[in-house]
Structure 1
């Protein structure tokens, strides 16, 4: 999906944002359809192409490709390149996941490598600090450069980057330290003192201050200071993503940089409450504050800082918030043309909207092309929760949300589930959903 292919969708984005058009509004084209975590197996590819699918997401794994510093595993690199080539030669457009969320063990042992919270805890998932710390960032830069050289990069539609253990934008969740307390993930040496700080980043504007504390540096902490601290915390994610994109461009990759964006981030009214309470936990509906997710500010920041072309991948198509928003009277789950113009209106109850609807509006405001995927089966670590639709319902409903939100493409999580009897869903079910009017 090269940028030129997104031109009709960008027209739709402008219309959503309220741009004037002297002629009749063209219909927003149907999304391209595809699957996540493709094996590129020939028999599956043949079935998928006959069914009308045209896009796949293929994931690389840093730990497999670079088990030791300084070189790639020849077998893994050759296998990944062959897998991608099979999909490309079958007529699929390929988005490659960088696999930065799977760091090798030697990267975890680098100086200041692990994220640390205000209690000194590290994420139970072993999350590496790809935001502030120079040593793991340099290792990632080397890996990304080698990855571009190892695969048919010129034929890729896009390449995904992220900062979290899920491969998305954000820090770990607020309860991932194992201490039983909420965690802010900016208390490593680099973030606090600047020692070993990654290029392009800044150390904390309030050294030693812990969110929620009324005191700082012998005086009283203020809401203004708390707001600046959170802006630094969330803004560091944007710089980290821009840094990865710059490495890819420097390595010669000219395709789309895809940024997986989870949830809806902190809502504007909630951010005001949170800052006013010195970030003590008030105003945080879903952990977005601790994860540094502020889509209202971040998406325009991404549009300005990340060297293009850049595409936002919304990972919340038919998540649990869509289930809740759908049950309201009137329902608040579907995207509407007026959303970008009203999403920041304090009189509009955007807390009732689904994650997809709110974040889609922010992407439109930022002028960013958008693709999306569903969270996957309930109970999975990939995003589905106990409150999500069943996988069968996601297969049925997610394509309709992709259409209503004007997504350029939708990839279903996951390919394997369409080809194994135990899942209870089939490729025919997916085809039925994408061909329904």
Structure 2
């Protein structure tokens, strides 16, 4: 554990966060070492802003993630549920009135049932399968994109904007960046989710998107339209597939700006994406391979795409959703340990340092964000369970509090968001507000 350090005022931490976000429109740079920063802002995920919890909140914990639900705000097309909208406004207002800044989850991962019937809403993989997770095509379908943009306008109208320090925007059913993962089809590491009419042939294609550079080509096939497929062809296809995620987020961010929101846009990023050496190997066999965690099929190329995100979405913030996940536990046990961010990580990432395979997800993603000039926030995975990122070999929730706070500091994050508020106040994971307070005062 790091030696004790003086605790800084939370207001200063938030000021640092907002100042960092304001500088995001500048050209990306590759810093040689993290710039000195104040302590991160401290917060909680899935906050209810309940009066009794606000009254008992941990001193210095002044950020709350409040999750909205698209299916509740707009249960019928074009119809805002006034009761839900008022409840959401009241929730945000309670936090703001108590001096707690709010990061609002957009709720795009909870589409109403009527959205599934829109043209092109079904996602299809190369075998014609549709996801078993209920995912809809928020990336390529023009009809779904229009509905999502309308939802964001309703959301912005429903809440007080002056209390928000972020709105989260993702593309997956987990609310994170990415195409559906291997669990969506039951065929592990097998599905590429870009084989509907919109992505392949431009029929009903969302604004800002482009159709496949090789229509009907399936990764792994050695020929296309009578000619051999080269590694350059495969790289171009993957760049299109991965870049579509950034284009979708940029389109949602544009809608937020048009609706009057001017604050940071948080983009939750799971895992570590595809390492440059792994992507090189994959395109060398024309994508006829898989990468751990399904990153290749999910289209997660943080090294390649975060600079594009920085350029396309001024005010973007990368949310590392697995701070102190199981990969950090394993990296911490190595000799020497590899779990901590270090000066020079951004350069090592693109230079293909031999140790990269030992780096945990958080270290890779933070380095990729630093290389792109993007600020980062982070949250721990939470206890093992079907609705969290915790797995059997994760740290306990108590250890996630301790290590998550430590990693937030050493990695230079702008904020640490503890997952989840219920864990603090219900005792379901064996942690208490005092555990969080002790960790941030170390």
Q: Same fold (TM over 0.5)?
A: yes
TM-score range, shorter chain: over 0.9
User: 2: distance between equivalents of 1:404 and 1:177?
Assistant: 38
Give the alignment of 1:157-172 within 5 angstroms: 157-172=165-180
SS in 2 for 1:274: helix
1:94-141 superposed Cα distances (whole Å, 9 cap, x missing partner): 000000000000001111102111111111111110100111111001
- Between the aligned partners of 1:303 and 1:9, the Cα distance in structure 2 is 11
Judge conservation of contact 1:9–1:28 (CA < 8 Å) in 2. no
Matched, 1:41 2:55: no
Partner of 2:7: none
Q: Unaligned stretches of 5+ in structure 2?
A: 1-12
Shift of 1:347: 3.5
1:125 aligns with 2:139: no
**What is the match of residue 263 of structure 1?**
271
Q: Equivalent residue for 2:8?
A: none
TM-score under structure 2 length normalisation? 0.93
Deviation at 1:180, TM superposition (A): 5.9
Alpha-carbon deviation of 1:10?
9.4
Q: Deviations over 1:206-254 (max 9, x none)?
A: 1111111112112222211111100000000000000000000000101
1:79 counterpart (74, 77, 87): 87
Match of 2:283 among 268, 275, 282: 275
What secondary structure, in the 3-state scheme, does the structure 1 residue paired with 2:377 have? Answer: strand
Work out whether 1:305 is the aligned partner of 2:305.
no
State whether residues 343 and 361 of structure 1, in contact with CA within 8 Å, keep that contact through their aligned partners in structure 2.
Answer: yes
Aligned to 1:22: none
User: What's the RMSD between the two structures over aligned residues?
Assistant: 2.1
2:42 and 2:60 in contact (8 A); partners too: yes
Equivalent residue, structure 1, for 2:299: 292
Structure 1 pair 10–434 and aligned structure 2 pair: CA distance change class (3 A): farther
- Structure 2: how far apart are the matches of 1:135 and 1:351? 41
What's the secondary structure of 1:187's corresponding residue? coil
SS of 1:286's equivalent in the other structure is helix
User: Which has the higher relative contact order, 1 or 2, with Cα contacts under 8 A spaced 6 or more apart?
Assistant: 2
- Give distance in 2, aligned partners of 1:235 and 1:154: 32
SS of the residue corresponding to residue 58 of structure 1 reads strand
- Closer/same/farther in 2, CA of residues 3 and 31 from structure 1, 3 Å limit: closer
Could you tell me how far apart the structure 1 residues matched to 2:380 and 2:335 are? Answer: 24
Preserved contact between residue 380 and residue 400 of structure 2 (Cα < 8 Å)? yes
Take 1:369 and 1:195, find their aligned partners in 2: how far apart are those partners?
37
* Deviation sequence 1:360-401 (CA, Å, 0-9, x none): 111111111111101111233321122211212111211001
Query: In structure 2, which of residues 95, 113, 119 is the aligned counterpart of residue 105 of structure 1?
Result: 113
Q: 2:155 aligns with which of 112, 122, 147?
A: 147
Partner of 1:379: 385
> 1:8 deviation in Å?
7.0
Tell me the SS of whatever aligns to 2:56.
helix
| SS of corresponding position for 2:327 | helix
- Counterpart of 2:416 in 1: which secondary structure? strand
Q: CA deviation at 1:26?
A: 7.5
Equivalent runs, 1:176-191 vs 2, <5 Å: 176-179=184-187, 182-191=190-199
Which whole-Å CA distance do the structure 1 matches of 2:22 and 2:157 have between them? 31
Q: CA deviation at 1:4?
A: 6.2
Q: Match of 1:196, SS?
A: coil
Distance change >3 Å, CA 248–CA 221, structure 1 → 2: same
**Structure 2 CA distance, aligned partners of 1:2 and 1:107?**
37
Match of 1:95 in 2: 103
- SS of the counterpart of 1:312? strand
Residue 166 of structure 1: CA displacement?
A: 0.5
- Partner Cα distance (1:8, 1:248) in 2: 20
What's the offset of the Cα at 1:45? 0.9
In the alignment, structure 1 residue 390 sits paired with structure 2 residue 390 = no
- Equivalent of 1:214, from 219, 222, 240? 222
